[in-house]
Each structure stands twice: as C-alpha cells, then as structure tokens.
Amino acid sequence: MSVQIWTYIIVGITFALYIGIAIWSRAGSTGEFYVAGGGVHPIANGMATAADWMSAASFISMAGIISFAGYDGSVYLLGWTGGYVLLALLLAPYLRKFGKFTVPDFVGDRYYSQTARTVAVFCALFVSFTYVAGQMRGVGVVFSRFLEVPVNYGVVIGMFIVFFYAVMGGMKGITYTQVAQYCILIFAFMVPAIFISILLTDHAIPQLGFGARLADGTYLLDKLDGLHEELGFARYTEGARGMWDMFCITGALMAGTAGLPHVIVRFFTVPRVRDARLSAGYALIFIAILYTTAPAIAVFARTNLIETVSETPYSKLPAWFGKWEKTGLIIFEDKNGDGKVQYVANKDLNELTIDHDIIVLANPEIAKLPIG
Amino acid sequence: MEHLKKYWKRNLLYLFVLLLIWFSISFGCGILFVNELNAIKLGGFKLGFWFAQQGAIYGFIVIIFIYTFLMNRLDKKFDLDEK
C-alpha cells in the first residue's frame, strides 16, 4: 500500500475516534456544555490543558525557532511555561473558588459593574479571535494537504467540523478528545527525538542527550558552538540578544500566557478547588515533556542541518532538500557560482534561506532516520 | 474574621516565597546571571543555558506541586477545604 493510502487510513481512524468520543460524551446540561459538568479527573484535565497548549505554535514552530535562535529562543520556553505558573498560583484557584464559568462573569460580579463586564467580554472576544485566526490557518493547511483542496476550502471544512463538534459535545467532548489528542501529539513528537538522540549521543532521553558527548568525544553543544563560530553566527549557547531585551520579552510572554481564556476555563472542569490546583501541576508536567524536548530537537536539527548542507555541492544534497525546495520553504541561490551551498551569517555571502517552521517536520529526514 | 485574616496572610506568604523562587530560577538564573553561571559546566551544558532551556521548567513543576501541597494543608488546618 502506498504512503497516501496509509495516511488516509490513519487520519480516518483518528477522526472516527474523535467523533466517537464526541457522541459518547455529548452534553446534556448547561453545566456539562460549559465546564463538562465539573466532573473531569485532574489528570485527564491536565492532559487536556496540555493539548490546548500544544497548538500549532508549540508543536511545529517552537523547536524550529529555537534551532535558529539558540539561547535567544529561551524566551519562548521561559515565557510560556513561566506564565503558566502565574496562572496556576494567582488566577486559577480564585476563579475556580468564585464559581463562575467565564472571566467576564468574574470581573462583572467582583467589581459590581456591568461596564467592567462588557469591557472584559470585548477583551475576551478580541483575544479569542486573534488566537483562533492562527489556529484555523493551521487547521486549513492540514485539511488542504489531506483532502488536496485549496487552503481556503481547508479552513472552511475545518471550521464546520470543529463547529459541529463543539456544539454537540461542548466542553465535555472537547476535554476527552483533547486527552486523546495529547497522547497522539506527544507520541509523534517524542519518537523521532528519542531515535535521533540515540543516533547522535547514545542517550535515549533527549533532555540528557543534547548535553552529552558525541561519538568522537566532544560535547554536542561545544561542537555546535564551534560550527556557529566558523560560519559567523553568534554562539548557539549564548545568542545575540541583549539581556534586557530577553528580560522584557520573557516578561511579556509570561503575562500573556497567564491570561489565555481557553486555558483558564479548563480549571472549571474539575470538581473542587483542590483538584484545580492539582490539575495545574499535572498539566505542567505534560507540557514540560514537550517543552524540555523541544530545545533538544533544536540542537540535534541545527547540528545535522549545518553538517549536511554546509559546503556541500548542490548536486549531492539529500532528497529532502529538493522536496522542501519545491514548497518554497527552502531557497538556494548560488551567488558565487561554485556549485556548493554556503550557509553563513553574512547576508551578502549566504546562499541558503530556510523557513523555521519546517524544522520539526523535516527533522527525521535531516537526521537520516529511515522514514518516508 | 480573625481566622480568615490569618488564613489569607499565610496564603500571601506562600505566594511571595514561591514567586521569589519562580523569579530567581527563570529571570535570575536564566537571564540576569546567565553569563556568570555559564562559567560553570554541568556535563556538556553551560549552567546558565541549562537553566534557561531546561532547569527553570523543572523548577516550575516543583513550585506548582509545593504550592498545591501547602495550600491543601492550609485549607484543612483552617477547615476551609471542600468535602
């Protein structure tokens, strides 16, 4: 059977699973619709929160950004997880205790003001629309690739499916599909990371692997720093951003993370305040599995990428290079006409442009894992 | 009332201490003192870099679980826990 047929079968099965869960867990009351009847187990709620977190941005883009930015990419790791701590300590338990479903409800009641409530509603709508716009684009890309239709149709089809789903199952359906989704996503993320880690450093745990020695005895990070210096980039482990720049971006990302409405509402789906606190802890563990693996993937991909392409004759480049070139996400222009790829920091001499978003998807191929 | 005030004071104390730790492992070790810590090596990791990309996140998990433990104990002590 061809890869295409396998893709259809596997995607078909996951869809059947999601829709099955939606029918099985359809909402019967307002409480069930908004907060799953408040009866979700803390561990399940933790997984669902983590799946919410792992939007296209965390799953596909973050490791890629870190791969190109090195230490500078830490702002995303620190910002998004650190903001979660603020959410869990300062917001979630109190909102949960207050017993309202939404933040505008809380603001309106707490400050005895309809005006405050209206302002909060507009803020929530604005935040949600901005957030959904990005996510729907991701949904559209996936559906357009899967059904081989233009991306605009992909967005519309995806929208209808999500709508059908959310209206029927409400928060309960979404919570249990998120649990299933978390398991699938983390599996897809971890398997290549573990194998590449074993291939490079003999460590099965990527978090340890990227601080370990290579077969020739040098530390992987030292080697990558060396490669970066050779090509004129800032050292990978030190980055180029100023300290206060890092400080302020991290702070801003933390504040933003603490206010995500779809994550806050998750804390209403557990039975008691005590469970809300506990489920915040579980959620962070599940999130941390992804967030501590991402920097390891970033280092593996960066090292493999530089070693594969730098100074390699164009005709000898591996097959993945050509495939991604066709999508326009890798661009090579032979400026000095020597037929080899010069990948350097200097913009006038650099001949290679790579879109950050392809790193996670292309990583297994770059590392020569036997896939596809 | 006295009872609840005491509960709230203790709550704030916990938050203050935990957020202090939160600040020092993320902004402190990962950003402000990163250069000083990078002089120390932890296996193949420079320590500052490790905090910024790994250590702080592990610390965050510990913070949330300590908070959960402390607050649940406090709720019980002041008889404010939901049955």
- Give the model's pLDDT for residue A315: 85
From CA A75, how far away is CA A93, in angstroms rounded? 26
Taking 80 as the threshold, does the pLDDT of residue A127 lie above it? no
A with B: how many residue pairs have Cβ under 8 Å apart?
113
Query: Of A2-6, A196-200, A209-213, B73-77, which range is least confident?
Result: A2-6
Tokens of A41: 């187990």
Give B56's contacts (C-beta < 8 A, 6+ positions apart): A77, A78, A81, A82, B25, B26, B29, B30
What 3-state DSSP class applies to A240?
coil
Percent of residues, chain A, with pLDDT higher than 90: 20
Is residue A372 scored above 50 in pLDDT? no
**Does the beta carbon of B8 lie under 8 angstroms from any beta carbon of chain A?**
no
Q: What is the pLDDT of residues A80-103, one digit of tens each?
A: 999 999 988 988 888 777 777 677
- Listed by start position, the domains of chain A span 3-366
Question: Which among A74, A89, A212 is the nearest to B15, CB-wise?
Answer: A89
Question: Per-residue pLDDT averaged across A153-158, rounded?
Answer: 83
ipTM of the complex: 0.92
pLDDT bucket at A145, cuts 50 / 70 / 90: low
More confident residue, B4 or A14: B4
Q: Are A262 and A254 in contact (CB under 8 A)?
A: no
Interchain pair A82, B22: CB under 8 A: yes
Q: Is A237 on the interface with B (CB under 8 A)?
A: yes
3-state secondary structure of A215: coil
Q: What is the CA radius of gyration of chain B?
A: 17
**Residue A207 corresponds to which tokens in the numbers above?**
């978090």
Among residues A295, A235, A222, which one has the least CA distance to residue A66?
Answer: A295
> Which residue of chain A has the CA closest to B52?
A74
Q: Distance between CA A135 and CA A155 in Å, rounded?
A: 10
CB of A34 within 8 Å of a chain B CB? The answer is no
Amino acid at A305: L
Instruction: Dig out the tokens for A264 from the structure.
Output: 């806050």
Q: How far apart are CA B49 and CA B31, in angstroms?
A: 9
Phi-psi region of A337 (alpha: psi -120 to 50; beta: other; left: phi over 0): left
Torsional class of A212: left (φ above 0), alpha (ψ -120 to 50), beta (otherwise): beta
**Partner residue facing B63 (CB), from A85, A211, A278:** A85
Instruction: Establish if B45 touches chain A: CB-CB under 8 angstroms.
Output: yes
Domain boundaries of chain B, sorted by first residue: 2-77
| Residue A302: both structure tokens together | 């960066």
DSSP string of A304-342, one letter each residue: HHHHHHTT-BGGGS-HHHHHHHHHTSEEE--SS-SSB--
Judged by CB atoms closer than 8 Å, whether chains meet at A281 and B65 is answered as yes
Question: What's the gap in Å between the CA of B11 and the closest CA on chain A?
Answer: 10
Neighboring chain B residues of A280 at a CB cutoff of 8 Å: 64, 68
Listed range (A340-344, B11-15, B26-30) with the worst mean pLDDT: A340-344
Q: What angle do CA A195, A197, A198 make, to 5 degrees?
A: 65
